[in-house]
Amino acid sequence: MSLLSVRDLEVHYEVEDGYVHAVDDVSFDIERESLVGILGESGCGKSTLSKSIIGGLDDNAVIRSGEILFDGVDLTEISDEQMREIRWEKIAFIPQSAMGSLDPVSTIKEQLFETIRAHRSDVSKQECLERAKEVLDLVGISSGRLRSYPHQLSGGMRQRVLLALALILEPELIIADEPTTGLDVLLRDKILNDIETYRDEYGVSALFVSHDIADLVETTEYLIEMYGGKITERGPSKQLFDRPIHPYTIGLKGSLPDLHENTDEMIAMKMQPPNLKNPEEGCRFRNKCPFAVEECRTAHPELTEQRDGIETACYRASEAEMMREEAKTVDWSNV
Ligand SMILES: Nc1ncnc2c1ncn2[C@@H]1O[C@H](COP(=O)(O)OP(=O)(O)OP(=O)(O)O)[C@@H](O)[C@H]1O
Ligand SMILES: [Mg+2]
């Protein structure tokens, strides 16, 4: 049994004149001790998806259908009380822009202790302290910082304190929404490497959310790409990145600066997110896709098996080689 199994999930936001179809018919699995990434540009539904797993959706969100099975238990069916028990203890969630969510008037020590105490009433002060030091050490922060307040730490340190908080109860799954956005490159690499180390030492699984394909290919073994609330492509990260099949993945990869190739061939992916309010029929990506054909208007394509364990939702997946070649000369910004 997979650690997490999301099945046919549909999440809508109720708005004045209709529904925003933020997550539409999404299914995927996370195996134990695996590192999985959710990739996609702003507004594609990444945060909605991750918040729905941990029961943290906005008030106007509705889970219309689907299951979220964690260790076989459907998280969409459990009570708030049961969810509180799972949160932190089994699934730790670091929300987007969480750096501001550290309590400004409590020290790092108080915040680490409080997280332990909220879940384990029988743990002694001494045990709390040992565990707090242990996790801080893991994230590369000296225990001398236990007495610091959040504002006394740099942005990168605060991000690592959040990771320490996420790890302190040894959860089975960590969900981190854009954990490295806004950090400089060196820090970003350090944090991403750390996370891999935790997986090896603690056997946790992680779900990382990011708009940055390069980040996710570095840190994850499996990538799920979304566009307009739908999964467009998924598969083993390296294979997907080396030879993408979906035009969206081809475009995202092409928009990266490549030191070894002629940068004139860089594809600019300056795209507006699609309107998810009462969306039209057909492939969500089709209005931005240089390879769209008549068939793309009919329905959103199903994910179908390709090579190397990759699954792609594109009617023209069999023409991937041509699309990769042609994409080099396409100006995506004008499509
Ligand atoms: N509370 C809300 N009410 C209505 N629409 C919402 C609400 N929250 C998010 N949305 C919309 O749902 C869609 C998905 O948003 P979501 O925040 O999940 O995207 P995202 O991929 O995390 O984007 P980003 O990269 O900017 O964080 C967007 O169209 C967004 O405008
Ligand atoms: Mg988000």
Ligand nearest to the CA of 43: 1
Going from the C-alpha of 151 to that of each of 96, 157, 158, 166, the distances in angstroms are 19, 10, 9, 19
Distance in Å, CA 45 to ligand 1 centroid: 6
User: Measured from the CA of 226, which atom of ligand 1 is nearest?
Assistant: 21
- Ligand 1 pocket check for 42: Cβ under 6 Å: yes
Residue pair 266/257 in contact (Cβ under 8 Å)? The answer is: yes
Local structure of 219: helix, strand or coil: helix
Averaged confidence pLDDT in the chain: 89
321 CA to centre of ligand 2 in angstroms: 32
What residue owns the CA closest to ligand 1's atom 30?
Answer: 43
Ordered by start, the domain boundaries in the chain are 105-162, 238-334
Side-chain-side CA neighbours of 332 within 13 Å: the count stands at: 26
254 lines ligand 1 (CB under 6 A): no
Beta-sheet pairing, 73-74 with 61-70: antiparallel
C-alpha distances out from residue 204 to 89, 98, 192, 197, Å: 12, 21, 14, 10
- Listed in sequence order, the DSSP H helices in 152-230 are 155-167, 185-202, 213-219
Q: Which regions in the chain score pLDDT beneath 70?
A: 98-99, 182, 256-273, 332-335
Ligand 1 contact via 11 beta carbon (within 6 Å): no
pLDDT confidence of residue 280: 84
The 8-class DSSP code of residue 284 comes to T
Read off the pTM: 0.90
27 lines ligand 1 (CB under 6 A): no
**pLDDT value at residue 263:** 45
Q: Is residue 274 lining ligand 1, measured as CB closer than 6 Å? A: no
Q: Ligand 1, from 9, 13, 16: best to mutate by most atoms within 8 Å of Cβ?
A: 13
Distance, in Å, from the CA atom of 80 to the CA atom of 261, rounded to the nearest integer, reads 52
Taking the CA of residue 49 as reference, the ligand 1 atom at the shortest distance is 18
Measured in Å, residue 178 CA sits from the centre of ligand 1 at: 14
Using the mean position of ligand 1's atoms as its centre, give its distance from the Cα of residue 47 in Å. Answer: 7
Amino acid 264: pLDDT = 46
User: Is 112 in a helix, a strand, or coil?
Assistant: helix
> How confident is the model at residue 17, as a pLDDT?
87
Model confidence pLDDT, tens digit, residues 112-150: 999 999 888 889 999 999 999 998 988 888 999 999 999
What is the predicted pLDDT for the residue at 194?
A: 76
Angle at 117 between CA 116 and CA 121, to 5 degrees: 120
